[in-house]
Amino acid sequence: MPTLGRLLALTVSGQVPAESVQFTDGGAQLRWLGEGALEVTPARGQDSGLDLVLSAGVHGCEVIPIELLDRLIRMIARNEILPRARLLLLFCNPPAMRQGVRRLGQDLNRLFCGKHTASEPGDETRRAAQLEEWVAAFFQEPGRRRWHYDLHSAMRASVLPQFAVCPWMDGRQTSSESLMRLRHAAVDALLLQEKPSGTFSAHTATRHGAEAFTLEMAEAPGGAWPDCLDEFLQAARHWIEAREPAQPNPALRPLREFRLAREIVKRSEKFVLQLPADIENFTPLALGTLLAEDDGGVRWVVEEQGARILFPLADIAIGERAGLIVVPRD
C-alpha cells in the first residue's frame, strides 16, 4: 500500500512523507498537500466530473468519524475502491486529535466562513484559514458537481442514531437526490438550519455552492461498531466511485426532517443545564419542561409541540450554545 494511504498515522505522528505524490495500482494519484490533507485524482479517463470533500477530526475526540475516513483512505490506497471522483480528504484538527480532546483552544467548527479573521489569532484560526485555502483550490474548476460531507460524532447516544445537519443557504432547496443519498448512508434524521453559521459544511455550501452536510455518526456503548456504520461505508464507497444510489425501495429507513426552534445559550457562570447528563439526542420534551436556568431569572422552558433536545452540553464557555430545541419540519 502506498505510504500516503496511512494518512492518519502520518498526521497523528506529525510526520512528513518522503514522497508527496504516489499512485495506486489502479492508476489513481495520491498527493499530500500538507498535514492531514490528501488529494486524490482518478486514473486517466475515469473522472466523472464530481469533486468530493470528506473531512473528519474537526473535534479531535470524535474517534468514529476519524476511523471511518481512515478506512476509506486505506481502501483507496489498496485499490479496493477505484475513484471516479476527485477527492479532498482532510483530518482537520491534528493537535486536538493527538491529545484526544474536542479542542485545545477555540472551537474550530465555529471559525469558517471567514470568521477566523475576526477571532483571536491562534492555532485554530490558522488551521481554519488553511482548510479554506485547500477547499478553494480544490473547487476552482467550474462546471463540476461539488459535494462535502463533514463527519462528526455527537459523543452521546441518540434516539435517532445517525443524523445530518444541512447548513443554511439563501434560497436553496435540498434536492431529492441529496436526501436519497443520506438515506442510503443510514441517516435517520435531517436538521435544516435556518440561519448562517461558521461550520465547515456551511463554508463549502455558501462560499463554493457545494452540496454540503455535517454528518453525526452513530455511537454505541462499549466502543461497539453499529451496523449503520457499515451502511455508511458502503454509501461513501458509491460516492467515491460516482455511483448513484438505486431508486427508493421499502427497505430504506425513512428520513425525518427537523428545524431549529431555539438555542439554549450560556450567558453567565450561574448557568445550569437542568437535564440528565446522559440524556440522548432527539429525546422528546414535554411541554413545560424546565431545560436550563441562568442569572437574572432567565429560564428555558419547553413551549413547542413535538420538541426534542439536541447537542445538550453543560461544560461550555459563556456565549456558547448549551443545546438546541428542534421540532418536526412541516
pLDDT digits (tens, 9 = 90+) for 249-296: 657 778 999 999 999 999 999 999 999 999 999 999 999 999 999 999
Does residue 203 have a known ligand-binding role? no
Q: What is the pLDDT of residue 248?
A: 55
pLDDT tens digits for range 42-61: 999 999 999 999 999 999 99
Instruction: Using pLDDT thresholds of 50, 70 and 90, give the confidence band for residue 72.
Output: very high
456565549: which residue's cell? 319
Q: What is the pLDDT of residue 246?
A: 58
Q: What is the pLDDT of residue 160?
A: 94
Q: What is the pLDDT of residue 90?
A: 98
Q: What is the pLDDT of residue 220?
A: 74
Cβ(233)–Cβ(81) below 8 Å: no
**What's the mean pLDDT in 128-156?**
95
pLDDT tens digits for range 7-41: 999 999 999 999 999 999 999 999 999 999 999 99
Instruction: Check residues 315 and 92 and name the one with the higher pLDDT.
Output: 92
Say which amino acid occupies 143.
Answer: G
Instruction: Tell me which of 70-84, 168-182, 195-209, 312-326 is least confident.
Output: 168-182
The catalytic residue among 39, 124, 211, 216 is: 216
**What's the mean pLDDT in 301-325?**
93
Sheet with strand 272-273: strands edge to edge: 272-273, 290-294, 298-301
Q: What is the pLDDT of residue 226?
A: 86
User: Which residues contact residue 121 at a Cβ distance below 8 angstroms, ignoring those fewer than 6 apart?
Assistant: none
Does residue 194 have a known ligand-binding role? no
Neighbour tally for 43: CB within 10 Å: 16
Give the C-alpha separation, 57 to 41, whole Å. Answer: 22
Q: What is the pLDDT of residue 115?
A: 80
269 in catalytic set: no
Q: What is the pLDDT of residue 250?
A: 59
Does residue 152 have a known ligand-binding role? yes
Helix count and strand count (H, E) for the chain: 7, 16
State the DSSP H helix or E strand holding residue 322, giving kind and residue range, or none if neither: strand 321-328
Domains (ranges, CATH) in the chain?
3-240 (3.40.630.10), 261-328 (2.40.50.630)
Q: What is the pLDDT of residue 330?
A: 73
CA-angle at 211, arms to 210 and 213, nearest 5°: 115
What is the b/e burial string over 205-216, where b = at least 16 CB atoms within 10 angstroms of the residue's CB?
Answer: bbebebbbbbbb
223 pLDDT exceeds 80?
no
Mean pLDDT of the chain: 93
**What's the mean pLDDT in 216-226?**
81
Neighbour tally for 80: CB within 10 Å: 12
197 pLDDT exceeds 80?
yes
pLDDT tens digits for range 87-115: 999 999 999 999 999 999 898 998 898 88
153 pLDDT exceeds 70?
yes
Q: What is the pLDDT of residue 1?
A: 87
CA-angle at 100, arms to 114 and 151, nearest 5°: 50
